Structure 1
Amino acid sequence: MSEPHILLVDDDGEIRRLVTKFLRESGFRVTSVRDGREMRETLKSTSVDLIVLDLMLPGISGLELCRELRAESAIPIVMLTARGDDLDRVLGLEFGADDYISKPFNTRELAARIRAVLRRTTAQGETRLDPSWRFTFDGWVLDTRRRELVNDQGVVVDLSTGEYDLLLSFVEAPQRVLSRDHLLDAARNRVSSVFDRSIDVQVSRLRRKLGGDGTPDMIKTVRGLGYLFVPEVAKA
């Protein structure tokens, strides 16, 4: 199997040098760039498996680049944030990042998070052993072979890696209350802390994509317990 290709976007030359060196020693192929302009140019001519994207960049910010990427691609994004406060984390998830890590960070932890996101992405692209690979609910279809969500009008709805994992957890266990810890493990492959609200952000994003414009919510909040996927789900 070829080395996963990581695109590192950070304006700090020392961070680029150190992270690039460590990731290459850890079995990744790495291209590093300084800003959004160089990132765009690289993506025009190069295929990458994951982007490590700094929040604070000169010119267009990492958040805007994240939103731009997510509007046209489902490529996994790990966001680097200068601070560990909730606002940075929530904004990163709102704009479509699949994971985040706060500076200063441990390079081993960054590599572990990259591998976790890539494992989920790879698993999503493989044929499931279960012959039931399509889930239908209220006229919608989740195709796990193509990693596609199609709405009741036949339009494909783009999902980030985290949103896809979250929805898959719901359709595999419909009309059951799933705790935040369970969903966080499934959607982001890490253990939450008591105060981690990132799963609520992911649920909010997913609700909007499932038609949160006045239509009844498909995802019900069960106070103090977690969330419940309301529709009946059939496998095909």
Structure 2
Amino acid sequence: MGERILLVDDEAALVKGLRRSLEQAGFEVEVATDGRQALERFAAGGIDLIILDLMLPEIDGLTVCREVRKTSQVPIIMLTARDEDVDRIVGLELGADDYVVKPFNPRELIARIRAVLRRVKPAGGVAVGVPVHPGRGVAVAGGTGQGSGGPAGAGAIPAGAGVPGGATAAGAGAAAGAGAGAAAGAGEAAGRRTGRPDDGADDADAEVLVRGPLRIDRARYRVTLQGRPLELTPREFDLLVVLARRPGRVFTREQLLEQVWGYDYAGDTRTVDVAVRRLRERLEPDPAHPVFVRTKWGVGYYFAEPEDIARRFGGEPAPGSGAGMP
């Protein structure tokens, strides 16, 4: 049984053709033709991904995205006929995982769908941060105790149940091996790097990355700061892993697009800026003065080195965190 997609669009011809393409690709498809129908159908549960048009009757796509994100991290790909930066930026800020401008090739959209779904499913195929529904895998929506659709108690599973560690963030696919295959000279091109010439910190490939009070469990798709679970979207989890594997190494926006988004992304580099800002809002004690995810002005972003984190939080750098390497 394929993943269940909620297709939300009021253009009958587009819906007919896209539904056929998605079903031929092995997905189950449900359709809503306005924003109100979309929210009602999503609340019933069982949706693995939403394709959401921006311009909808009743309730617009941005409002639908905002409402869904109040209770769920289910992947959302937004569609629009308006190729305007403001639409892209606002959609991503509200939590959309990707953005496609009409007209588009259905094969491109299907490739993007599969890339997003790979990121939210661990190797065992159990979705993390997507809906709970009988016979289709278990999911956890952060620490809210709710599934992707409907209130707690309506098929929802509290954090910690069903998924080891009560996963609050998804990062399958790219997260499990984030940064693998990246060019060895990426950091040097950015003008700053630490660690061995061809790798990051000693624990770069470990299942658990410890960066001061921050613990990133890649096997359980769980992030905690000083023991407190953090709820991240799949994209935010991937971005954090890529940066944290190589403390001190600067990544340009283009490199982050390639490594985190994982394919030829059609958006511009401001997409990265939006994602970093959202990550900081969830991660940093003071997002205006970030401790973990730093900016190298005019170049890109990097994860703080162990000594810098230790100075902020006190104590010695954690073993294996990259401290003391040349």
Instruction: Classify the TM-score, shorter chain.
Output: 0.7 to 0.9
Relative to structure 1, is the Cα distance of residues 221 and 52 closer, same or farther in structure 2, using a 3 angstrom cutoff?
Answer: same
Pair 1:221-2:220 in alignment? no
Relative to structure 1, is the Cα distance of residues 100 and 151 closer, same or farther in structure 2, using a 3 angstrom cutoff?
Answer: same
CA distance in 2, matches of 1:37, 1:77: 16
1:135 to 209, 223, 239: 209
Q: Could you tell me which residue of structure 1 aligns to residue 52 of structure 2?
A: 53
CA contact 1:174–1:228 (8 Å) conserved in 2: yes
CA contact 2:207–2:218 (8 Å) conserved in 1: yes
Moved more, 90-99 or 66-75: 66-75
CA distance in 2, matches of 1:125, 1:177: 23
CA contact 1:51–1:75 (8 Å) conserved in 2: yes
Higher strand share: 1
Pair 1:209-2:208 in alignment? no
Relative to structure 1, is the Cα distance of residues 61 and 156 closer, same or farther in structure 2, using a 3 angstrom cutoff?
Answer: farther
Q: Deviations over 1:73-98 (max 9, x none)?
A: 12111111221221111111111111
Report sequence identity in percent. Answer: 40
Q: Could you tell me which residue of structure 1 aligns to residue 35 of structure 2?
A: 36
Pairing 1:1-236 to 2, within 5 Å after superposition: 2-123=1-122, 124-125=171-172, 132-152=206-226, 154-191=227-264, 195-211=268-284, 212-232=286-306
Amino acid at match of 1:18: G
Q: Deviations over 1:6-65 (max 9, x none)?
A: 111112222211111111112211111112322222223341221101111122221122
CA contact 1:125–1:146 (8 Å) conserved in 2: no
CA distance in 1, matches of 2:265, 2:20: 30
Amino acid at match of 1:41: E
SS of equivalent to 2:83: coil
Q: Deviations over 1:198-218 (max 9, x none)?
A: 111111111221223454442
SS of equivalent to 2:120: helix
Aligned residue pair count: 234
CA shift for structure 1 position 172? 1.3
C-alpha RMSD of the superposition: 2.6
Relative to structure 1, is the Cα distance of residues 234 and 43 closer, same or farther in structure 2, using a 3 angstrom cutoff?
Answer: farther
CA contact 2:5–2:29 (8 Å) conserved in 1: yes
Moved more, 120-129 or 201-210: 120-129
CA distance in 1, matches of 2:96, 2:320: 29
CA distance in 2, matches of 1:39, 1:227: 37
CA contact 2:77–2:96 (8 Å) conserved in 1: yes
Please, what TM-score do these two structures have when normalized by structure 2?
0.65
Q: Deviations over 1:174-213 (max 9, x none)?
A: 2111121221122212335795321111111112212234
Moved more, 172-181 or 97-106: 172-181
Relative to structure 1, is the Cα distance of residues 194 and 113 closer, same or farther in structure 2, using a 3 angstrom cutoff?
Answer: closer
CA contact 2:66–2:95 (8 Å) conserved in 1: yes
CA shift for structure 1 position 234? 6.1
SS of equivalent to 1:53: strand
Relative to structure 1, is the Cα distance of residues 217 and 63 closer, same or farther in structure 2, using a 3 angstrom cutoff?
Answer: farther
Q: Deviations over 1:138-187 (max 9, x none)?
A: 312222233222222x4332212211111110111121111212211222
Higher helix share: 1
CA distance in 1, matches of 2:40, 2:267: 41
Q: Deviations over 1:108-145 (max 9, x none)?
A: 11111111111222243589599832222231222223
Q: Could you tell me which residue of structure 1 aligns to residue 138 of structure 2?
A: none
CA distance in 1, matches of 2:116, 2:267: 22
